[in-house]
Structure formats: structure tokens, C-alpha cells
Structure 1
Amino acid sequence: MRLATAEINLAALAHNLAQVKGFAPNSKVMAVLKANAYGHGLVTIAQHLNNADAFAVARIDEGLALRAGGLTKPIVLLEGFFNKADLPILLANNFQTIIHDEYQLAALEKAKLDAPITCWLKVNTGMHRLGIAPEQFEAFYSRLQKTPNAKNTVNLMTHFSCADDIDNAKTVQQITLFDNLVNGIDQAHCLSNSAGIIAWPSGHGDWVRPGLMLYGVSPMANSIGQQHKLKPVMRLTTRVIAVRDVPANEAVGYGGRWKSDKPTKLAVVAMGYGDGYPRHAKEGTPVIIGKQRYGIVGSVAMDMISVDIGANEHNIKVGDRVTMWGPDLPVEEIALCAGTIPYELLCNITPRVSYEYQR
């Protein structure tokens, strides 16, 4: 019997990519696959994104895994390279790199390469994380065009800090600053992450970078993916491994955090923080057994969670399937119950969870 399982719906993935193209019909799509494709399985997800124009990852080892898996599309390293010795690896694997600081640019200029590399110049328009300062743009762009180690096509990029909040004027300010900097330069522009794709059409540019929305999860504050016509790609499931009668006022689980004020039944399910489920999920966080929602009680342990199913529930038995999140129980809702964000839950899935890909 399979216990903790991440069921991955590849038809939903294709649907979400089509939605991206619907939001930004005039932009190419750079599908973001970092962090094991947000916990969904790096290589398999990439293999089923045939209509994406390029892939984006955070680090070189993720790009190498894609190449080893037979993926030939362009791959962009969103953090760029960290050592000059990485440059021959980039060239050999046809990786494209972000340039976001002086170290990277100087290393590229001094390198002895057999052919040029495609570069993306990243400008800090307000995120204040990676990216050159706006006043550095002209000099950096000129140097990239002059070095024989960079292709003449120098793509231009920035990143939004508050695009998930439609009432925040910061995104308009970032778009305006970026547009003023690159005005008149005939190179490809890339600004929008998932939130930018949904909420800020003026920032779509030549390329968009969907991440979270590809997996059917809303990047916008206080909403779920279905509200944006997205379909959740992951259903995290497990099984009931015990059903127990618990008398009134008996403490349950580590620390005795929870007591029922009346006799009840508990379903013990094979899921815990050892599988990536959030340890701090609060009492009452829902799961689905059969077609009914029930709330978890007591402490989330490494391997098990207790669920209060009520004294009169006689149909639940060992082996019954339990949904921890999925299309009928949004991961966004579970994230709220755990005081975190959906990104963290998806990325925290551990290696002992089985993956089942469904077409």
C-alpha cells in the first residue's frame, strides 16, 4: 500500500501553460523549474512543457540535470554563475546566464572561451536583491556588447517585488523605471513573474517567467489558483493507518496539546514533517477522507498526524485515502493554516514521498 504520494496531473500542467499564453499572448514563455520544479519533479515536468520556449533554473546543477534528462531547450540561470570556472560549463551546455554584478561581468570579460554566451543583464528596479543599479545600466550594457565572450543579443531583465498586491504602486514604478532605462534599445525584455503575468499586462514584455502559476497555485495575495482559471497540478495523499477510540479529556500526541471534551474517534494518517507536511499546521487544519473534511488535532509528528473524525463515524477504516492538499483542498488554504506560503509547502516535499505522474 502506497502511503505518502504526490500525484502529479500533467494535463493540469499543460492547461496552466496554456493559461499563461492566454494572459500574455505576445510574449515568449520561460518556464521556471527551480527547486525541483517547485517540488513537482524537475526533469519530468520539463519533459511535459513542450510549448515553453525556454526553461529557467536557479543554479547550474539544476540545468545539468535537465541536460542529463535529454532536454535541449534554452536554459537560463536566474542567479547566473558564481565562479569564473563555471563559464566553460555554461558554454558546453548551452546555458544562458544572468549578469547582475561587477564580479560576473569582469569574469566574463577576462575568460578565454571558444564561443560567446547568451547573457541577460538584470537591473535592480526596486527589489534590492540581485541586479545592477539603474545608474550602472549604460556602462554594463556597453561592456557586454563589446566583449567577444557575450553574444550581441544582450537580453534585459528585472524582477518585481510586490506584483502580488494589485493595490501596491511599486510595480508600476518598477515598470516605468525599467522602460525608461531600456527605451530605444532593440533587445528582448523580461519583467514578469507569475504575479506580473496575471495582474500587470504592461509588464509582460517579450518574455514572461511563470513559476508558481504553472503548478496551478495563485501567486496573488488572498486568492487561490482556481480563481485565475488555474488547475492544481499536485495532489498530496496518504492513507489511514489506524482508527482509535479516545475517551473524553485524554491528551493526544506529543506534549499533550489537544484533548477532546467528549469521547471521539481519531484516524491516524501516515503523514508528517518527515514527508514535508508543515509541523506548525494549527488544530483544525483540514484533510479530506472520502468526500468529507475533517480537522487535524494534536502535534504534527515526523510520520503521523491525528485527525478527529467524530464519535459517530463508523465508515472510515485502515487503508482509506486521505488528501492533504489538492484540487478540492487548495494548498493555499493549508499554507494559511500553517502560517506560511504555498511555495514553501510545495518545495518541502521530501524524498520519501512517492511520485505518481498522471496523464
Structure 2
Amino acid sequence: MFRTTALSLALLVGLYCTLVGQDNKQAEEAAKALRAQYQQTALAGGNSERGKQVFASEKAGCVKCHRIEGDEQRAGPDLRVVGDKYALDQLIRSVLEPSASIHPDYASLVVTTVAGKVYTGVLRKRTKQEIQLLDAESKLVRIPLDDVDEEKRSPTSLMPAKLAETMSPEQFADLIAFLTTLKQPVTDPGTLPGLVNEIPMIKKPIRLERLHTKDIKFDHPVCVIALPGSKTDLMVVEQKTRKIWRLQNKTDRELFVDLSAEASTGQFEGVMCLAFHPNYLKNRKYYVNYHVRNQGSFFSPIIAERQATADLRRDAGGASRRLLQIPQDTDLHWGGMLAFGPDGYLYIGSGDAGPQEDPEGH
């Protein structure tokens, strides 16, 4: 009796899972076909004037998260020049599949409090006292740090996955047509200080030469600098692997240091640059600019001092001496330049994407 009941239950569970799987597959196929219909309609073209009305409509809700003028903070990206940034097919996909590619500055942060409340939004600012989020309505939510139990990044965009289905395919095409018109105003370069209408040809042609043989490959190299004391060797910084290589006479490379134990890595973060002390041949000191990221936070550039071995062949090992950490309110600060000036000072470029998507307007 027990075996019969257990067998029947197993058959029922198996049948249920099969039916659910079939339903999910059918739903996915239907959604794919619907996206294809909207895509083809948008590719055929729409009316930008009608699209502007769709953008401003309460039903579409675009203005809740995006702005095309003014400076009021929004949870989503500023769209005033989106037509310059993205091609037609990219704009279409960004609306049809908003979670397919999320800009790191607009990834959703899910914060769970000690009391069990869950808040989801785009991180606007983090202080020593609180976390500030912008929710799907672009409303500011303040959460005291003492109340936070857990925080994690979500792979899902705040933008509704089925936003396009709130409008007809023709309205969707009109909306996309409007977005393509949002571009930077064309300005005569001759009217801007320091710019010229025509750039003269140089008298002596530039010749590009390979720095290394074809068999040597680097992974996301972001900085190449001459090695002090050598006429042939170069130092190559790899952003994502967080390794610095010594390139010897174009034909061979040797690992100088691996900073993966200290630096974080990602699409836009890692080790960015290095600079040798002006007296490197004697004191063996050099400096690196790399990123670190704490749980749920934006990455922060670190300026650190390290030292080479006595023969200057490689890094001496041990932890870096951190000289400076630069707090960030956005993941858009991707720069990382380091260089000693003729005055002997170390100059640091932390990077900045401008006020368009910087919460602090820097």
C-alpha cells in the first residue's frame, strides 16, 4: 500500500514538473515572438513627435526614472543624448530586455534590514550613517546603517521587463524613434575656445611599430611605461588580471607582480596604472593605482606604494603601503593615471565621467 501511494505521488510530481516545464517553454517562446514583433516594427521606423508623447505619458512611466532635461535626480540614466550613444538596435533591446545589459552605475541594490524589510533601488550615496537609494519611482529612501542586515546587487533592472507591452507595437516604434532624436546639439567648433575648424597635417609622418612579437599576448593592457635604467624593457599593466609584466626587448615577458590578492576586478575595475619613483634605481619604490570594492559599494581607487627586489627584476612581495583611498559615489570613475611631474610630486588621475551620470554632479 505504501509503495503504491509513493509511486503514485512520484508520478504526480513528475507530471506536474513536466506540465510546468512545458508552460514555461511556451511562455518563453511567446515572449520571444512578441519581442520580435516589436523589434521589427521599430526597425521599420516610427513617428518621433508621437514618441515624445509616449515618453511623457503616465502609462509608459519613462519620466519617473529618466530625464531629458533639467537636473532633478532620477533612478535611471539621463537620456538627453542617448541617440548619440547607442545605435537603433541597441535602443530597441534596452527597452525590450532591460536586464540583458545593465550599466554598473544603475544596477539595483537589494537591502534587507534587521527587521526583515526589503528595499530595492539604485545606490545614490553611502555615508557613515546611512545608505541612500532611489527606488523605481525615483523616490529617495534612507536606510540607517545600523538597521542593515544584508545588502546585495541584483541582476534585475529596476526598469520593468514588460514595459513595451504597456503600449502597442506602433507606439513602441514611435518611442524608439523619439529616443534616436535625443542628441548633443551641433556646435561650430570655431566658436569654442581652444578649438579649430581644421587640423593641419603633420610634416613628418607617424610610423607605428609593434612593442612585442605576435606570440606575446596581453589581457586588457591599460598602461605601458618605460622601465627606468633600461633602453629596451617596458612594463605592461593588465587591468582585469591585476598583473604587471616586464616586457623584455620585445621578445619575452616576465611577471613582475600579481596584485590579485589586493585589488578587485570586474568590467571596469582592476589595476589601472603604475609610476616609478624618480629615484627608483636607488630606493626601488614604485606606485600603483588599483581598485577595491566592499560589499554592495562602488569601487574606490587606491594609491599604494610598493618596492622591487634588490636586482630590480621583480616585486619584493608583501602587502602594499596604502597612501590614499578615494571614496566614490559612482562606478563611472574609471580612470587611473599616475605620473611624477618635473617638480617631483606624484600626480593622480582618478577619472571622471562628467556630471551627466554622477550623483554628486562632479
TM-score (normalizing by structure 2): 0.22
| Structure with higher RCO (Cα < 8 A, 6+ apart) | 1
TM-score for both structures, normalised by structure 1: 0.23
Query: In terms of Rg, which structure is larger?
Result: 2
User: Hey, which of these two has a bigger chunk of helix by percent?
Assistant: 1
